[in-house]
Amino acid sequence: MNTHDTQLDPRMHPQQAVYGVIGNPVAHSLSPLIHEQFALQAQQSVHYGKLYADLGQFVKTVDTFFNRGGQGLNVTVPFKLEAFQICQKLTERAKAAGVVNILWQENGQYVGDNSDGVGLVRDIEKHPFQITGKRVLMIGAGGAVQGVILPFMEKKPNQIMITNRTLAKAQAIVDRFLPQAQAFGIQLSAIALDQIMHLQEGYSIIINGTSSGLQGSSPLVFSQAQHLQHVMQRGEIGLTYDMVYGKETDFMQQMSACGFQVKDGLGMLVEQAAEAFEVWRKLPRGSLDTGTVLQMLRKPVV
């Protein structure tokens, strides 16, 4: 498999079901390696590659892929909202997220789903770390946070607080999901990022849903990280999770120095990929061995 080839053409693989990941950039993606392992596990004749799309050319690139016989795409940055917009049918969790990361066709119509939240929840619970009854702090108010709110609420934490530099964006997510939160009996609220030092209660799970890790920065200053540890209940060890994977981010270093358990987003990537493969290939949910694949990806290159 050529890891640098980002011009996926289904016509080049006539004997296989062809899937791929579309993004900009996309050359760095681990998804082909992950799906290759799932195909071996499930004994399925599948080819999974990378598909680069120029900005402004997403719809044309997707149409070409499916017209040439492609069967499904994972969608990564910056196209998840565009993918949502071209779908004639959406799953309930895609509607809730407002963005799509799994795309396929049924009867010539685009169908969209979102597995990011399910992937994150599964990875945290396999850590193992319980979400039910806990207090959760989510940093950021973009598509990443929006996409995981509902699957988190389904696990019935006690509270979800969303914090963002621009309070209005965080509050917009709260307003959107308030009916579901009330139905689940969850306290859902928002706070501006610069008000973190005013929090009087600790959070067992803190999730960085911003892209700060990609830019080599953290959404928090060190004093804020220290404060979040200071207000934790005595004896409780919190989990901090950065959705970015592939390195120990500045956020993870900060939180580790303050005594939190830290985790990157590689497990989330594997879990959301498994969900996509199972949806596309009509396999029972949870039938793939994600642990072995994650262990393989974490092995140091020798």
Residue 284 lies in a domain: no
Residue 272 lies in a domain: no
Residue 208 lies in a domain: yes
Same domain, 129 and 62: no
Q: Which two tokens stand for residue 245?
A: 């994977």
pLDDT (tens digit, 9 = 90+) per residue, 88-100? 999 999 998 999 9
- Around Cβ 283, how many Cβ atoms within 10 Å? 16
Write the single-letter amino acid at 127: H
- Around Cβ 135, how many Cβ atoms within 10 Å? 19
163: pLDDT strictly greater than 60: yes
Same domain, 190 and 108: no
User: In whole angstroms, what is the distance from residue 181 CA to residue 196 CA?
Assistant: 22
Residue 177 lies in a domain: yes
**Chain-centroid distance, C-alpha 24:** 17
pLDDT (tens digit, 9 = 90+) per residue, 128-140? 999 999 999 999 9
Same domain, 149 and 249: yes
Same domain, 66 and 123: no
Same domain, 96 and 152: no
Q: Domains in the chain: how many in total?
A: 2
Domain at 87, CATH number? 3.40.50.10860
Same domain, 95 and 127: no
Which pTM value belongs to this model?
A: 0.93
Residue 301 lies in a domain: no
pLDDT (tens digit, 9 = 90+) per residue, 39-63? 999 999 999 999 999 999 999 999 9
Residue 80 falls in the annotated catalytic set: yes
Q: Which two tokens stand for residue 112?
A: 């969209």
Same domain, 108 and 218: no
Kindly tell me the burial class for residue 4, based on how many C-beta atoms sit within 10 Å of its own C-beta (0-12, 13-18, 19 or more): exposed
User: In whole angstroms, what is the distance from residue 204 CA to residue 240 CA?
Assistant: 8
| pLDDT range class, residue 3, cuts 50, 70, 90 | very low
Same domain, 136 and 64: no
Q: Which of 50, 60, 80, 134 is catalytic?
A: 80
Residue 4 lies in a domain: no
What domain range includes position 72? 10-114
Same domain, 194 and 262: yes
Residue 195 lies in a domain: yes
Q: What is the reported pLDDT for 2? A: 41
Q: What share of the chain is helix, strand, coil (3-state, %, to 5)?
A: 45, 20, 35
Residue 298 lies in a domain: no
Same domain, 179 and 47: no
